[in-house]
Amino acid sequence: MTIVIEDIAYNLEDFLFKNIVLTENIPSNSFVSKFLTSWISGSKAFQIETSGSTGEPKSITLKRKWMETSALQTIDILSLWNENILCCLPCNKIGGLMMVVRALAGGFDISINEPKADPLHKINPEHEFTFISLVPAQLVCIMESQESLKKLNRFRTVLVGGANVSNEIIDQIQTLVPDVHLTYGMTETCSHIALKKLNNEPWPSFKVNAYVDIKTDDKGQLSIKGFQTGEEWIHTKDIVKIHDSNSFDFMGRSDFMINSGGNKIFPEALEQKIKMLFLYKNWKTNLAISEITHPKWGSKIVLVVDSPLSIAEQQVLDYLQLTLFKYEWPKHLFAIDAIPYFENGKINRLKLRELVLAIG
């Protein structure tokens, strides 16, 4: 196999018992050079930093055999064969690093590029890449460019993860040639433990990887166990609806759930609804749902936008009341300079809540 890092080609032997000194000052690629050196020299465990999107970033230990199992599961589920991988996610995070491990497990060629908003902008229009993993923000940038869109349609398989994908984007995905799969997973599970196919005969729910067990507690929070978790249960704060042992729907995070008058509102689901309503009106803005405290109801729902709308706040709220359930009605609309996001595209809801409380 060949490993290309920022247009410089290496063989596996180049990483044997030595660190490759990269000419580019890219921290994620410095990490991948050291990782490959450790991997090829037989290291059995690796320290990986979590994304921090659901709490403070922390360093955790992942065993080599867990990562290999996860990689082989992906290869099997997606029927990967003779792939040419383009890695454009940070390799010091699990999403990018597992693309490297999949290349190692499958003997695939891989090119590792600096992460960019549109990672396809500068690649050859006649490229021969077949497999790529993106965060939703990258996918949106690619689909906004006709040139990049043509390049994306030369791939066979696309993974999208790190954050939710809006219904608007899912509609656009239906026109793409490659199979697009939404991932569900985390650093602690060595990347995804479930996939949801979004186009080309899409799947209605997430399908769980083989030999992975799932269950929920009395709050509906998901727990996961498999070989890649050391056969120990990993407990999450994700609320899911399990259909059977092999499929589930993601509802939202329990720690971000809003309780208003006894009604449980998941910001992610309500945001999806409002985005579709804004699309119908051609109101273009990023939006998010947050809350402020209320002495009687516990919390009030707040709609946050980061671009001024051309119509009055009350008109927006009145429009939403025509189509949403009463318990979903935002009580206020706040405009801020920028909705805070993590690197993986997820909304930083704790920071958003701080901004909302400062206004309200």
Do 102 and 80 contact (CB within 8 A), yes or no? yes
Strand positions, DSSP E, 114-175? 131-134, 157-160
Please tell me whether residues 206 and 315 are part of one structural domain.
no
One domain for residues 244 and 312: no
For 284-331, write each residue's pLDDT tens digit.
Answer: 888 999 999 887 788 899 999 987 777 888 999 999 999 999 999 999
Q: In terms of domains, do 241 and 306 share one?
A: no
End-to-end CA distance of the chain: 57
Are residue 151 and residue 105 in the same domain, yes or no? yes
| Of the residues 202, 222, 253, the one at which a domain ends | 253
Supply 43's token pair.
Answer: 């290291």
| Structure tokens belonging to residue 199 | 């186009």
pLDDT for 18 equals 47
Q: Is the pTM of this model over 0.85?
A: no
pLDDT value of position 20? 46
- The per-residue pLDDT for 148 is 98
272 and 230, same structural domain? Answer: no
User: How many CB atoms neighbour CB 243 within 10 A?
Assistant: 12
Residue 311, domain CATH = 3.30.300.30
Instruction: Among 196, 229, 253, identify where a domain stops.
Output: 253
Q: Is 144 left (phi over 0), alpha (psi -120 to 50) or beta?
A: alpha
187 & 90 share domain: yes
pLDDT under 70: residue ranges of the chain: 6, 14-29, 51-56
Q: Are 178 and 74 in a shared domain?
A: yes
| Domain shared by 194 and 294, yes or no | no
Q: Which domain holds residue 327?
A: 257-359
Which of 253, 276, 299 lies at the terminal end of a domain, its last residue?
A: 253
Q: Quick: pLDDT tens for 3-33.
A: 887 677 777 776 664 444 444 444 555 788 8
pLDDT of res. 105: 93
The alpha carbon torsion through 120, 124, 128, 129 (nearest 10 deg) reads -20
Residues 146 and 190 reside in one and the same domain: yes
In the block, tokens 């206020």 appear at: 332
pLDDT at residue 310 in the model: 78
Residue 245 and residue 265 share a domain: no
For position 53, what pLDDT does the model report?
56
Residues 53, 25 within the same domain = yes
The angle subtended at Cα 62 by Cα 59 and Cα 64, nearest 5°, is: 145
CATH at 47:
3.40.50.12780
Burial of 62 (0-12, 13-18, 19+ CB in 10 A): buried
Tell me: do 76 and 121 sit in the same domain.
Answer: yes
